[in-house]
Amino acid sequence: MSEPLEIACDESGSEGEKLVGGNSDVFTHAGVLMSAEAAAGCVAELRERAPTPATEYRAGHVLREKYRPALLWLLGPDGPVLGNVRVFLTDKPFYVVGKVAGLLQEDHAPRLGLDPRAEATAVTLYREGGRAFGAERWNAFLDAFNYLLRAKNGQGVTASAEETFRLVDELRGAGGAAGAFMEELWRARPRIAAFRERLLADPYVFPALDPLIPAIVSAVTHWGAGGPVTVVHDRQTTLTDERIAQLREILGGRMAGLRLVDSELDERVQIADVMAGVARKIALDELNGRAEPGLTALMRPYLDDSSIWGDERSRALLLPGGVTAR
């Protein structure tokens, strides 16, 4: 039996289960299939083209404006990583919207990622929420449900279903599709409160809000199409022994194992960091309408069409081969 493929992974924009009001609205996760020798050669070339005294090469080094030629070389068709890197994008606020929309399913159960039956509702609410309720109240709604659906809220923050549904009550008279959604959500509050209690009783029950989990599943699914995959990942507090065991159960025989490493000691993980960071910068710029079309075009072949992305305009530019939302 042949040895499993070994992919190296890292992320950018991770804030755990905090998906609203954080440092970035975009999370990215890169999986890299390269030999240690090829990755070392790539990092060495980057150091020639975009020098830094840092012992670990990171995305910020190649994203400096003065090193734009190095970035174009890295992403370009003659660069060293095309075909060897896949990046999964997550639009964090849309992920929250999708999770909330999934709660309306009568048979809602813990689920990894988003419920495909709720995709159309999630896209509509994501598009219309700010217009229907105003940016301040819309963001307050997202923030409240972000905390309600988190397994661990941290920093002494608590959120009860009762407090959250006071806000839903205020919003359900807005009219239109967004107001109708709030009306449905209001009627579903007993079921949602029960789900919250279940989550508090077992913080490891899926769906975890941390986008790292579905991103790893997507990476293994992509690279493991022909057989099992071993994941080498930069150290992450989310990836406890319990989470890794759950991932192995979800993925069955497709994930042969997952081990955490110090990225400073593995150039493959450094390439994953660079590509995740570059993708996050480009995707965030595209989401906010300030992207450079040339960079978006260069990034596009690396992006996973199954990414969790709700904004239709930027999705058409970043992920033209994917469906509206996943």
Most confident of 17-21, 158-162, 275-279: 275-279
Model pLDDT, residue 204: 65
Indicate if the pLDDT at residue 155 is higher than 70.
no
- What residues does each domain of the chain span? 5-90+208-318, 92-201
Q: What is the pLDDT of residues 250-274, one digit of tens each?
A: 898 899 999 999 999 999 999 999 9
DSSP assignment, residue 17?
T
Model pLDDT, residue 90: 97
Model pLDDT, residue 152: 64
Model pLDDT, residue 325: 46
Model pLDDT, residue 324: 47
Residues in contact with 64: Cβ distance below 8 Å, sequence separation at least 6, in sequence order:
50
Distance in angstroms (rounded) separating the CA atoms of residues 178 and 170? 12
Model pLDDT, residue 195: 80
Bond before 207 cis per omega within 30 degrees: yes
Q: What is the pLDDT of residues 124-148, one digit of tens each?
A: 999 999 999 999 999 999 999 998 8
Model pLDDT, residue 23: 93
Residues in contact with 291: Cβ distance below 8 Å, sequence separation at least 6, in sequence order:
282, 285, 314, 317
Name which of 212, 223, 214 is nearest 86 in CA terms. 223
Confidence of residue 326 (pLDDT cuts 50, 70, 90): very low
Q: What is the pLDDT of residues 180-215, one digit of tens each?
A: 999 999 999 988 888 888 877 776 665 568 999 999
CATH architecture of 5-90+208-318: 2-Layer Sandwich (3.30)
Model pLDDT, residue 205: 61
Q: What is the pLDDT of residues 283-297, one digit of tens each?
A: 999 999 999 999 999
Query: Mean per-residue pLDDT for 7-34?
Result: 96
What Cα–Cα distance (Å) separates residue 270 from each residue in 11, 48, 95, 234, 309? 10, 16, 27, 9, 25
Distance in angstroms (rounded) separating the CA atoms of residues 73 and 7? 23
- For 40-49, 195-204, 240-249, 312-321, which range has the lowest pLDDT when averaged over its residues? 195-204
> What percentage of the chain carries pLDDT values higher than 70?
92
Please, what is the average pLDDT of the chain?
Answer: 90
Chain Cα centroid distance, residue 213? 8
Distance in angstroms (rounded) separating the CA atoms of residues 153 and 199? 12
For residue 219, what are its two tokens? 């990476």
Indicate if the pLDDT at residue 301 is higher than 60.
yes
What Cα–Cα distance (Å) separates residue 269 from each residue in 25, 33, 42, 272? 23, 10, 12, 5
Q: Could you tell me the strand order of the sheet in which 229-234 lies?
A: 85-91, 26-32, 5-12, 229-234, 255-261
Amino acid (1-letter code) at residue 88? F
